[in-house]
Structure 1
Amino acid sequence: MTGWYVHHHGAGHLTRFRAVRPHLAGEVVVFSSLPEPSSLPPQTSWVHLGRDDDRPAGAPDPADSDPTAGGLLHWAPLGHAGHARRLAVITDAIATRRFDRFVIDVSVEVALLVRLLGVATVVVTQPGDRSDDPHRLAYASATRVLAPWPGGAHRSQGFVEVGGISRFDGRVRDAEPDPGTVLVLGGGIVEGDLTERVARAAAASPGTRWQVAGGPTWIDDPWLALQRAEVVVAAAGQNSIADLAAAGARAVVVPQPRPFDEQAATGRILLDRSLAVVEPAWPADDAWPAVLDRARSLQPDWSLWGVAGAARRAADVIAEVGA
């Protein structure tokens, strides 16, 4: 049996689980504060966890309650009932059922709790500077640290690099790019009104047709849209980049501010390997024609991102732990 902690920030951690799960044999119990999906794979159950960052009426802000324990942890606020309950649920599950391994994507505190309870852990790492004490402790306690990026892309520190994990790994490309089509992938790529920003960029780029897949215009399966886009505009999140690689897209990547310099680090690698046009921020309206021309001229070798077989390789790494 495998336990799997899915962090509730964004959709990326759940998307990665969905990509790897079909390749992992046996029963899997997922723990997350996210709502249970409408459908789960066979032999998969979902345990809902309360939030550890909410602020009940009259309660102190958890961010003011020494959440880092003086820098030893990332988030363990004093006196927060939700934080206590969510860890108690995980503890009770481990005390009453035998877990052979536990995947943590991502939480230093859950990784340490599970290991203290005597279960081998597979900790999923992320790009950026993770040399702080809490990350180092979580990695040192893990049986394996799984890195969802290609070999040599980031500082590995002995991590198991499996390649970029995409939900589209193995999909057949059955459409060609439609000239002039621009797809904006992800709703959090700019602050403010994305619809207005895209409209202005489209107006400044004659002959283009823009589509947004994210935010209020969410598309559950953007595979066809990815194939038909002449240029894709995306943030530098791990899932987005892996999906670009799976589709062989010509892309403009706009890294977003994230803790530990996560997306900026990925942007530097993409630029170094000539895989995408990388812009430090959403370009000005009148800059878009030149930015799109640069993206159209790319000949990216996305095989460098190692997407083919990455989900299966990740499953194999997980299955080896505690076997």
Structure 2
Amino acid sequence: MIGYYIHHHGHGHRSRAAAICAHLGIPVTALCSEPVSDPDGVFAETVVLPRDDAAPTAQDPTAFGTLHWVPRLDPGLRRRQAAFAAWIERARPTAIVVDVSVEIALTARLFGIPVVTVAMPGNRTDAAHQLAYRLSDRIIAAWPRAMYEPEWLQPFADRTNYVGGISRFDGRSSSRFRPDEDTVLVLGGSGGSSLTAADLEAYSECEPRFAWEGLGIAGREWVDDPWPALCRAHVVVGHAGQNTVADIAAARRPAVLVAEPRPFDEQRATVSALDHAGLAVALTGWPEAQAWPGLLDRARRSDPGRWDLWGTEGAAARAAAAIEKVAGESSCA
């Protein structure tokens, strides 16, 4: 049995977990603070852990800068740790994948369970992140090493698998969808975005050559499967979250990608890598509406075939193989 901890914020961590676990030959239990939808049946079991923020105020949540979130005397945190420990004793996993929580990684290792940590872009030099990477048996970086190899990850190079961008759409064909030269698709997300439907209307007024469609944006519809719309779009606009980038790469569409504010400058690091590689028009913030005609023209002149450099094809399978290797080695020990 493998445990797979999934951060509850947004849909991205869950989508990535499902894409990876579809390639695992070992049963997987998903552990998360929110119910995990599993329409494809990739998990043998799902466990909802208690939330760790039940106290009205958070007292010393970082333990003097050592960790990220361990608020003193929080009953939710106590219940959460107890539930996780009980599951470990019951399931006796041979490995635990953590995407992402330094505290879950540390707890698992304190129980003697091998840990596979999913790394995130950005500035991860703080004590808590470095602790998680030091104790991990394996680190999965969901981007190509040639595009982005941060200095803080280099000390763990012998334990890091740069698998490429992991997309839930890897393996799906785009050939039956014909791109519409009149459409710009703007992708939002459940992880939070400063973009609104009013922004789309302003952009459309300044760039009327295109029909602006929005998915996952406040004030617009949510679509569970954006693949057809993604493949039909002439240009895709979105934030630089790992799953959004990987999904656009899988569809090989010209793109304008914008860094949204995130902890540790996660998306700024991603747009820097994309800009340096020439894979997309990459911005550090949402532009004024008047800038869109020039930005879209730049995107239309780009070569979408360069998205192959992001390595989405087979990325989830490569991550699964790295996890199985850790689990297999521990079960034979």
Equivalent residue for 2:80?
A: 86
Equivalent residue for 1:210?
A: 212
CA shift for structure 1 position 291: 1.1
> In the aligned structure 2, how far is the partner of 1:140 from the partner of 1:37?
32
- Does structure 1 residue 124 correspond to structure 2 residue 118? yes
> Which of 288, 301, 305 is the matching residue for 1:297?
301
Secondary structure of the structure 2 residue equivalent to 1:321: helix
> Which of 293, 312, 315 is the matching residue for 2:317?
312
> In the aligned structure 2, how far is the partner of 1:67 from the partner of 1:274?
40
Q: Structure 1 residues 310 and 131 mapped into 2: Cα distance closer, same or farther (>3 Å)?
A: same
- Does structure 1 residue 71 correspond to structure 2 residue 65? yes
* AA at the equivalent of 2:240: A
Range with bigger deviation, 179-188 or 129-138: 179-188
Alignment of 1:229-308 (within 5 A): 229-300=233-304, 301-308=306-313
> In the aligned structure 1, how far is the partner of 2:43 from the partner of 2:243?
25
> In the aligned structure 2, how far is the partner of 1:196 from the partner of 1:34?
31
Secondary structure of the structure 1 residue equivalent to 2:117: strand
> In the aligned structure 1, how far is the partner of 2:84 from the partner of 2:269?
33
- Does structure 1 residue 172 correspond to structure 2 residue 173? yes
Range with bigger deviation, 10-19 or 207-216: 207-216
CA shift for structure 1 position 36: 3.0
Equivalent residue for 2:41?
A: 41
Q: Which consecutive residues of structure 1, in runs of 5 or more, have no partner in the other structure?
A: none
Following TM superposition, where does structure 1 have runs of at least 4 consecutive aligned residues deviating by more than 6 angstroms? none
- When the two structures are aligned, how many residues end up with a matched partner? 316
> In the aligned structure 1, how far is the partner of 2:266 from the partner of 2:42?
33
> In the aligned structure 2, how far is the partner of 1:43 from the partner of 1:34?
15
> In the aligned structure 1, how far is the partner of 2:38 from the partner of 2:130?
36
Equivalent residue for 2:327?
A: 322
TM-score, normalised to structure 2, is: 0.91
Q: Structure 1 residues 114 and 234 mapped into 2: Cα distance closer, same or farther (>3 Å)?
A: same
CA shift for structure 1 position 211: 1.0
> In the aligned structure 1, how far is the partner of 2:19 from the partner of 2:54?
30
> In the aligned structure 2, how far is the partner of 1:314 from the partner of 1:268?
24
> In the aligned structure 1, how far is the partner of 2:293 from the partner of 2:53?
42
Q: Structure 1 residues 189 and 43 mapped into 2: Cα distance closer, same or farther (>3 Å)?
A: closer
Q: Structure 1 residues 33 and 14 mapped into 2: Cα distance closer, same or farther (>3 Å)?
A: same
Contact 2:163 2:319 in 1 (8 A): yes
Equivalent residue for 2:331?
A: none
The alignment-based identity, stated in percent, is 46
- Does structure 1 residue 50 correspond to structure 2 residue 54? no
Secondary structure of the structure 2 residue equivalent to 1:123: strand
> In the aligned structure 2, how far is the partner of 1:264 from the partner of 1:204?
26
Q: Structure 1 residues 245 and 119 mapped into 2: Cα distance closer, same or farther (>3 Å)?
A: same
CA shift for structure 1 position 104: 0.4
Contact 1:189 1:234 in 2 (8 A): no
TM-score, normalised to structure 1, is: 0.94
CA shift for structure 1 position 83: 1.1
Equivalent residue for 1:113?
A: 107
Secondary structure of the structure 2 residue equivalent to 1:79: coil
Q: Which consecutive residues of structure 2, in runs of 5 or more, have no partner in the other structure?
A: 329-333
Equivalent residue for 2:227?
A: 223
* AA at the equivalent of 2:162: E
Equivalent residue for 2:96?
A: 102
Alignment of 1:23-42 (within 5 A): 23-37=23-37, 39=39, 41=41
Cα root mean square deviation, aligned = 1.5
CA shift for structure 1 position 151: 1.6
> In the aligned structure 1, how far is the partner of 2:193 from the partner of 2:199?
8
Contact 2:54 2:77 in 1 (8 A): no
CA shift for structure 1 position 272: 0.4
Contact 2:5 2:30 in 1 (8 A): yes
